[in-house]
Amino acid sequence: MSLRRKTLIAAGLTTLIVIGVFYLSARLILLKNYEDVEEQTMRDNIERTRNALDGQLEIMTSSVGDWSYWNDTYNYMRGDYPDYIEANIFDANYISLDVNGMLFIDKDGNLLFGQEFDGRSIGLSDELREAIYADEALIFQPDEPDPLRSTSGILMLSKRPVMIASRAVLTGNQEGPLAGTLIWIRYLESNRIADLAAQVKFDLSLYRLDQALPSDVQAIRDQLSVDQPDTVQVLNQDRVAGYALVNDLNGNPAMILRIEVPRTLYQQGARTILYFILFMLVLAGVAAGGLLILVERFILSRLSRLNDEVRRVGSRANFSERITVVGDDEIAELAGAINHTFAALEKADIALRQAKESAEEANLVKSRFLASMSHELRTPMNAILNFSEFMVDGFMGPVTTEQSDALKKVIASGDHLLSLINDVLDITKIEVGMMELFIEKVDLNAALDSVMATAKGLMRDKSITLQEEIQANLPILMGDKRRIRQVFLNLLSNAIKFTAEGSIMVTARQEGQDIHFMVKDTGVGITPEDQHLVFEAFRQTRHGIDAGGTGLGMPISKHLVETHGGRMWLESVVGKGTTFHVVLPIHSPEAVIKQKGIVA
Amino acid sequence: MNGQKNKPSFLYVEDDPLCRQVMDFLMNRVLEYPLTIFEHSENFMERVRALPQKPRVIFLDVEIRPHNGYIMIKMLREDDDYKTATVVAVTASVRLADVEAMKKSGFDGLIAKPIRNRLFPDLLRRILEGESIWSTA
């Protein structure tokens, strides 16, 4: 995965995780706070509603006071103002006072006047009258210790609950003696509850405990008690409800007040959190984007450019080039370090090239020197060999036997010197990679015949037998005739050189696409540790040094065989003899010939 | 094919005195063939044309001044009379590259220095018979 993609994924994931954490903590902490505030507000609302309800009672109680501490009423109660009822109690007054009933009870407890008003005047219901008389606190006795007190509350009647307020009847100056009791009632009906709701500005309902409750209210009922008179219940995402017990006149639970309000605060909180999270999301997006741009600009693009430049230098392998260093941070340091490496590589490269050039030059010089040396040595050999031979052959007058022997030694030494010159030239060509082959058709049987004839001449003075197992009609081989003969002659003269007595066996046969040659002698043999020396130029075994020679024949032969795409190796047992093996392919692989730069 | 009195003649261009002596001895004394020797290559073609008899084979040293073997063969091949004459290089420069260069420039053969007088008569016979000899050993 590219660094760019990794960065993108890492930034994206980090952003998402951070926002997730923000969201969860916002929900857990902020929204919980909103819920707490909501509950507290609901409790306040319940309290407010209660107060509104109580306030109505108080107002009514206060209005009752206006009438009970009035001389007209006082006089009426004492029987001194018989027209009082006719003058004061009529429909319009009920409406303006907003009451639904009045009771005038004298100091002895007799009901002087009692009437209800439900849009029109009606008689006092028995249930109401009985309920009032059943409550001692409502009716004032002449010996009332606190004649200015009032009693008010809710009275549960079967038809409807009513608000009730009672005061003692005193003079206008609130003086006694106490003339009786004035009681007002007000129906607690749906229209009044609607007024109350309008006053407190939320949905409001009242449920009587002595009647069947809706199931949800019933469930709440069980949670409420004197100690826990109210509770708050979340209905759904949009609405919350508050419930409270409402007591009757005697302080017994009589109704459940239910208020329901939209969850404005909570929803606003949730919205605030949502906006906050959205804002955070945008902010995080912008931050992540900005971060990515910065990372791209200050790191990724530079790394990419660095990569391109290093690749470019690498592909051209030109370490003298330098990559651009921008800034002074870690990437710049990296670029600097890479440039340092390039500098080191350049230095090494230059050194290597110089070494190679000087090696090539040395090789060229060596090659030229040897070519010129060969030329310069061969030219005097012309005179040495030919004049000696002319003399031996008697062209320059008679020679004695002694002189003839001496001249023959000169000729033999000259021949040896010439072969040395040729060997040194060959090994030099091999070392400088200039060994060339002249590829032509080679009749191996003919080549072997002539080599065997030469070998027989070489072993004239030795008691060695030369045996051969040469397959007749060996296939024609593609190779350098002169070089192949040279290899055979090397093998044979080598065997003869190291074999004092015994036999030399020459074998040649076709094996698949190869010709396998073996020259087996019964000579001194080569120790295992010396065997590798045989094929190394200018390295000779002890016996080799003793026997004379350049020590170049075998290395040259091995190289010639390998240049033909063949193999050469030896097997030897000290004291028993050595077998040299040469395997030559019938068709020298073209690849080998081309690779060696052979001129065909 | 030639009678005793009408033996083929040979030309040898060589600047090294010892080499000249060897070839002179070999041809005149051993093989008894008439041999003309040029000690340098100055005015080469004029001197060749001035020869009383056109040589049967011309032996050229390659490393010689002022005109080396390659220049002389070029001169010969540009001359109508010697366009097809038998010209053999006698040189110690026997690297394969040298041999290739000589073949390319029109030599008919090569005899390496040192000349092996035991082998030379046979080589010469074959050259006279029209064989192309490249004896580099």
B47-95 per-position pLDDT tens digit: 999 999 999 999 999 999 889 999 999 999 999 999 999 999 999 888 7
Whether A153 and A132 have beta carbons less than 8 Å apart is answered as no
User: Quick one: pLDDT at residue A463?
Assistant: 87
Q: How many helices (H) and strands (E) does chain A have?
A: 17, 17
Residue A287, CA distances (Å) to A9, A161, A281, A537 in order: 14, 65, 9, 75
Question: Lowest-pLDDT range, A14-28, A454-468, A496-510, A585-599?
Answer: A585-599
pLDDT band at A467 (very low <50, low <70, confident <90, very high): very high
Tokens of A89: 């109690």
Q: ipTM beyond 0.90?
A: no
What are φ and ψ of residue A155, in 5° steps? -120, 125
Is residue B1 very low, low, confident or very high in pLDDT (cuts 50, 70, 90)?
very low
> Token pair 């080799």 is at which residue?
A544
The answer to whether B25 contacts A599, with C-beta atoms less than 8 Å apart, is: no
Inter-chain residue contact A382 with B22, CB threshold 8 Å = yes
The reported pLDDT for the residue numbered B10 is 95
Chain B contact for A380, CB < 8 A?
yes
* pTM confidence score: 0.49
Residues 81-120 of chain B whose Cβ lies under 8 A from any Cβ of chain A: 91-97, 100, 112-118
Residues 479-518 of A with CB under 8 A from B: 482
Is A389 in contact with B117 (Cβ distance < 8 A)? yes
**Mean pLDDT estimate for chain B:** 90
> Please, which pLDDT band fits residue A203 given cuts at 50, 70 and 90?
confident
Q: Averaged over A115-128, what is the pLDDT? A: 91
**In the predicted structure, residue A339 carries a pLDDT above the cut 50:** yes
Residue among B26, B90, B95 with most chain A CBs within 10 A, to mutate: B95
Query: Of all residues in chain A, what percent are helix, strand and coil, respectively (each to 5)?
Result: 55, 20, 25
Alpha-carbon distances of B64 from A131, B13, B41, rounded to whole Å: 163, 9, 7
**Interchain contact, B25 vs A395, CB within 8 Å:** yes
Asked if B114 and A387 come within 8 Å (Cβ–Cβ), the reply is no
Rounded CA separation B23/B115 (Å)? 8
Q: From A493, A371, A464, select the one nearest A424 (Cα to Cα).
A: A371
What is the average pLDDT value for chain A, to the nearest integer?
87
CA distance, residue B6 to nearest chain A CA (Å): 24
- A171-202 in b/e form (b: 16+ CB < 10 A) is eeeeeeebbbbbbbbbbbeeebeeebbeebeb
Q: Would you call B18 and A371 a contact, using CB atoms and an 8 Å cutoff?
A: no
pLDDT at A590: 59
- Range of weakest confidence among A280-294, A445-459, A543-557, A572-586: A543-557
Question: What average pLDDT does range A299-303 have in this prediction?
Answer: 84
Mean pLDDT confidence for A528-540? 81
Calculate the alpha carbon distances from A579 to A380, A568, B80 in Å: 39, 11, 59
From the list B16, B100, B112, which residue is nearest A599 (CB)? Answer: B100
Instruction: Quickly count: other Cβ atoms within 10 Å of residue A456's Cβ.
Output: 12
Contacts of A451 (CB under 8 A, 6+ apart): A485, A488, A489, A492
**Subunit contact A381:B114, Cβ cutoff 8 A:** yes
Alpha-carbon distance A413 to nearest alpha carbon in chain B (angstroms):
14
CB contact under 8 Å between B18 and A382, yes or no, is yes
The predicted pLDDT at position A596 comes to 47
Confidence of residue B22 (pLDDT cuts 50, 70, 90): very high
**B131 phi and psi angles, rounded to 5 deg:** -80, 150
Position with higher pLDDT, A545 vs A421: A421
How many CB atoms lie under 10 A from the CB of residue B80? 6
Residues of A in contact with B30 (CB under 8 A): 390, 393, 395
Q: What is the mean pLDDT of residues A478-502?
A: 89
Q: Do A382 and B96 touch (CB under 8 A)?
A: no
Is A369 at the interface with chain B, CB within 8 A? no
Residue type for position A537: A
Contact A460/B at CB under 8 A = no
| In the predicted structure, residue A598 carries a pLDDT above the cut 70 | no
Percent of chain A exceeding pLDDT 90 equals 33
Residues in chain B with CB shorter than 8 Å from the CB of A388 are: none
